[in-house]
């Protein structure tokens, strides 16, 4: 799926209320170049796309957030709007077998509920982009998780952290439960959160400490599609370009939120010290 660059160029120009000639001058290109791109008569260069989208973001036009709002309104209640952050691009059809086996819930196609979620996870990659998707949950089975022991230990299993516990009947049940559905809705766990889960698996903190530490680092929910039936109900709507300055903007936001989350984790460790059970007490 290519970017809707021609449409975006016109949108940026009309929001700013400037002529094609004025816009071309701002971007440092000839008017005929801009005209051909607006009409879709030529394949846009990477340089021109970066210039145009960076210019819009500098002018406080958050085009991709506007698209999020418009698509949400257009889809209504019948469908769910989801977002997938890609390090480069999606090639071919969507597949539940494209992801790594050591992701939060194993192999599957991962999406998030908000645009800013998706950007923050891929903002460090040069060719990153965000895809907007339409999801129809009709006739599908869902397994929903909360920040609790089942969620923590399921993630630990798929991320290969359980070691000697992975054949325990409780862990096998958690694994089977995570695959007895078409799709999963669960809290997002990034690498920082996995370090907390690892502390629980290593016996350094209790389940109560772990749960409250993880709740302090809330990143929102993810939708994980694990069956072919589920992925067939997902439709690509649009691919969003991420300019350098937009990626930097979301990096800074995530950095400040990370500092606040880290402080909350420290406080939760203190507040719930000695409460709950260690993993050896649970898996006896």
Question: What domain range is 164 assigned to?
Answer: 62-282
State the pLDDT at residue 260. 62
Q: What CATH code is carried by the domain that includes residue 6?
A: 1.10.260.40
Long-range contacts of the stretch 167-176 (C-beta < 8 A, 24+): 168/283, 170/282, 170/283, 171/283, 174/150
Least Cα distance to 174 among 139, 145, 205 occurs for 145
pLDDT at 261: 64
Tell whether 125 and 245 lie within a shared domain: yes
The total number of structural domains in the chain stands at 2
Per-residue pLDDT, 41: 93
Q: Is 192 found in the same domain as 209?
A: yes
Same domain, 49 and 81: no
The residues, any chain, with a CB within 8 Å of residue 272's CB and separated by 6 or more, are 206, 208, 209, 212
Mark whether 250 and 137 lie in a shared domain: yes
Alpha-carbon span 50 to 53, nearest angstrom: 5
User: Are 80 and 113 contained in the same domain?
Assistant: yes
How far is the C-alpha of 170 from the C-alpha of 153, rounded, in Å? 10
Q: Which residues of the chain are modeled with pLDDT < 50?
A: none
Q: What is the pLDDT of residues 218-267, one digit of tens each?
A: 678 999 999 999 999 999 999 999 999 999 998 887 776 666 667 777 78
Given 26, 43, 61, which residue is the final one in a domain? 61
């Amino acid at each position: 799926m290519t970017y809707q660059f021609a449409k975006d160029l016109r949108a940026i120009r009309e929001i700013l209320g400037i002529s094609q000639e004025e816009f071309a001058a701002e971007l440092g290109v000839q008017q005929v170049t801009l005209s051909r791109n607006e009409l879709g008569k030529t394949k846009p260069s990477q340089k021109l796309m970066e210039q145009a989208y960076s210019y819009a973001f500098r002018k406080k036009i958050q085009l991709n957030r506007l698209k999020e709002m418009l698509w949400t309104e257009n889809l209504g209640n019948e469908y769910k709007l989801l977002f997938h952050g890609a390090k480069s691009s999606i090639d071919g059809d969507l597949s539940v077998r494209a992801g790594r086996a050591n992701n939060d819930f194993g192999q599957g196609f991962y999406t998030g509920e908000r645009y800013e979620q998706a950007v923050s996870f891929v903002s460090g990659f040069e060719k990153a982009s965000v895809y907007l998707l339409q999801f129809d949950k009709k006739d599908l089975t869902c397994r929903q998780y909360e920040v609790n022991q089942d969620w923590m230990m399921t993630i630990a299993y798929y991320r290969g952290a359980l070691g000697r516990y992975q054949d325990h009947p409780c862990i096998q049940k958690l694994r089977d439960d995570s695959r007895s559905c078409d799709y999963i809705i669960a809290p997002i766990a990034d690498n920082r959160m996995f370090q907390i889960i690892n502390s629980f698996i290593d016996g350094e903190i209790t389940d109560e400490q772990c749960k409250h530490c993880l709740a302090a680092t809330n990143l929102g929910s993810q939708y994980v599609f694990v069956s072919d039936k589920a992925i067939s109900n997902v439709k690509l709507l649009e691919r969003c370009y991420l300019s350098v300055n937009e990626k930097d903007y979301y990096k800074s936001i995530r950095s400040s939120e990370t500092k606040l989350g880290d402080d909350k984790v420290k406080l939760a460790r203190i507040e719930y010290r000695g409460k709950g059970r260690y993993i050896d007490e649970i898996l006896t």
